[in-house]
């Protein structure tokens, strides 16, 4: 499957033998596949893509910049369209696992996604209210006035079709700080993540809220539990597609279902299970300059919304004996504002993805999280997580041992083949290779 890219030419996410190429060769393949301009090729091919002058304007007390590997996951077909996925992370096996499961899913129809409107909540906390239920009703009656005040603060957003849409009012009686009334502004932030927008609106309406309730406003800030801004993905894979030389497809399906059930019932397992999902999600969030901490906070809170911390994904056996996986979670991502617009590499990442809206970015991101989850459970339920992970980690160990250039792959290959990935063993292998040379 090939699809139209941002330049109108076709994108093919199936790049054969991508992992076997050198970084320079991979870059050439990426530029060709994603139709990137020469400026992006130059930016990706050199270190220090973030100038110190830009970094100094992004956060405080800057003394330098810190780089992480920028990689591309291949093979993804989502809603019938091909995507090349930029991922920024330090952990071995993440990109390989996502690409591998995307290739399996690709042969079974790929991933299907959907999402809600980009609605964010801003919370306005009110204390010292004598009649909290009465105050709640007064706020609801004054909704048109509150919405008008909020929208007057961001006429550009309103002109783009967004703006404050509604309010909610929650009452918390008899807390250690007395009655607390909390009003939520429900804001359509369009293609922004929305934090600055909703925070500004909350601060703008605070005096009006105090006048209506007779109380005192304290906190005026967004909620990172973006439960009105959910993104979903699903994938169905046949048993035959999961089969390997060592394990039948049926064994794979049963193993994945056992692994999922463990995560669904046990929060200790669910924490690691969901971390594996975020292994796929966070690298895209970082690559595109979005707030990965906000995404993490929303994900884990949503996983505990029933009062029991559980899996963010569900897995079920199909009538044909295959397996269907689904994910639904908050995904407050933006294409405009903040580091997304400031960081040169974030802009390159968005051009590689070719997404047109924040909702599309959210859907692609959760699909990668679902692929990562399937990859982890497939490994855990069969040969174990360490076999593939340590084989890739062996390169890191070889470098730590002092290997350079072609020595890295030679040392790593020997470590992996012996299933003995240790620094002292790597030093022994390196010494022997250098002695032979």
Q: From the CB of residue 129, how many other CB atoms can be counted at a distance below 10 Å? A: 21
Candidate list 179, 273, 343, 389, residue with the active-site label: 389
Q: Determine whether 275 is an active site residue.
A: yes
291: annotated active-site residue: yes
Tell me, rounded to whole angstroms, the distance of Cα 313 from its chain centroid: 14
Token pair 């979903």 is found at 232
Two tokens, residue 232: 């979903």
Give residues with Cβ within 8 angstroms of 430, minimum separation 6: 398, 401, 402, 403, 407, 411
Specify the residue for token string 């991933």.
Answer: 111
Residue 363 vs residues 5, 114, 311, 350: alpha-carbon distances, Å: 17, 6, 18, 14
- Classified as helix, coil or strand, 4 is strand
Give the helix/strand (H/E) hosting 148. Answer: helix 143-152
Q: Which of 77, 82, 282, 291 is catalytic?
A: 291
The DSSP secondary structure of 176-243, one letter per residue, reads TTEEEEEEEEEEE-TTB--HHHHHHHHHHHHHHHHHHHSSEEEEEEE-S--TTSEEEEEEEE-HHHH-
CA distance 212 to 146: 10
- Please tell me the distance from the alpha carbon of residue 31 to that of residue 270, in angstroms, as a whole number: 38
- Is 360 labeled as catalytic in the residue annotation? no
Of 112, 153, 275, 410, the active-site residue reads 275
The answer to whether 51 touches 84, Cβ cutoff 8 Å, is no
Instruction: Tell me which residue of 73, 13, 86, 42 sits closest to 349, measured CA to CA.
Output: 86
Q: Do β-strands 313-317 and 323-330 pair in parallel, antiparallel, or remain unpaired?
A: antiparallel
Q: Assign 173 to helix, strand or coil.
A: strand
Beta-carbon-side half-sphere exposure of residue 86 (alpha carbons within 13 Å): 26
CA distances from 11 to 113, 374, 421 (A): 19, 25, 38
Residue that is written with structure tokens 């022994």 in the block: 428
* Residue 246 annotated in active site: no
The terminus-to-terminus CA distance of the chain in angstroms comes to 47
Catalytic residues, which ones? 91, 275, 291, 389
């Amino acid at each position: 499957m090939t699809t139209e890219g941002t330049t109108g030419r076709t994108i093919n996410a199936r790049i054969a033998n991508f992992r076997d190429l050198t970084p320079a060769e991979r870059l050439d393949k990426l530029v060709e596949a994603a139709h990137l301009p020469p400026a992006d090729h130059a930016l990706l091919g050199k270190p220090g893509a973030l100038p110190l002058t830009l970094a100094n304007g992004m956060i405080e007390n800057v003394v330098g910049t810190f780089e992480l590997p920028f990689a591309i996951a291949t093979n993804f077909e989502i809603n019938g369209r091909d995507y090349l996925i930029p991922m920024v992370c330090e952990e071995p096996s993440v990109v390989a696992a996502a690409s591998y499961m995307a290739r399996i899913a690709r042969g079974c129809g790929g991933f299907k996604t959907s999402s809600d409107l980009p609605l964010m909540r801003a919370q306005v906390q009110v204390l010292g209210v004598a009649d909290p239920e009465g105050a709640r009703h007064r706020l609801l009656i004054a909704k048109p006035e509150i919405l008008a005040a909020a929208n007057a603060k961001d006429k550009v957003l309103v002109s783009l079709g967004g703006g404050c849409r509604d309010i909610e009012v929650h009452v918390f009686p008899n807390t250690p700080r007395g009655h607390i009334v909390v009003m939520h502004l429900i804001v359509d932030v369009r293609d922004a993540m929305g934090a600055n927008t909703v925070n500004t609106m909350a601060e703008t309406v605070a005096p009006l809220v105090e006048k209506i309730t007779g109380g005192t406003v304290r906190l005026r800030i967004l909620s990172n539990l973006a439960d009105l801004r959910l993104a979903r993905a699903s994938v169905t894979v046949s048993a035959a597609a999961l089969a390997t030389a060592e394990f039948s497809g049926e064994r794979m399906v049963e193993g994945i279902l056992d692994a999922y059930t463990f995560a669904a019932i046990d929060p200790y397992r669910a924490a690691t299970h969901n971390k594996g999902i975020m292994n796929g999600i966070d690298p895209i969030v970082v690559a595109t300059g979005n707030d990965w901490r906000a995404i993490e906070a929303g994900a884990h809170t949503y996983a505990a919304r029933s009062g029991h911390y559980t899996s963010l994904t569900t897995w079920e056996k199909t009538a044909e004996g295959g397996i269907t996986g689904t994910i639904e979670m908050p995904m407050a991502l933006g294409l405009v504002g903040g580091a997304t617009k400031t960081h040169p590499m974030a802009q390159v990442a968005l051009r590689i993805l070719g997404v047109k809206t924040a909702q599309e970015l959210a859907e692609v991101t959760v699909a990668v999280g679902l692929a990562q989850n399937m990859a982890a459970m497939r490994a855990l339920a069969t040969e174990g997580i360490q076999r593939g992970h340590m084989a890739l980690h062996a390169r890191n160990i070889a470098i730590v041992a002092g290997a350079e250039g072609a020595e890295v792959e030679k040392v790593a290959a020997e470590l992996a083949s012996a299933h003995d990935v240790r620094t002292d063993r790597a030093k022994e292998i390196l010494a022997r290779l250098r002695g032979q040379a």
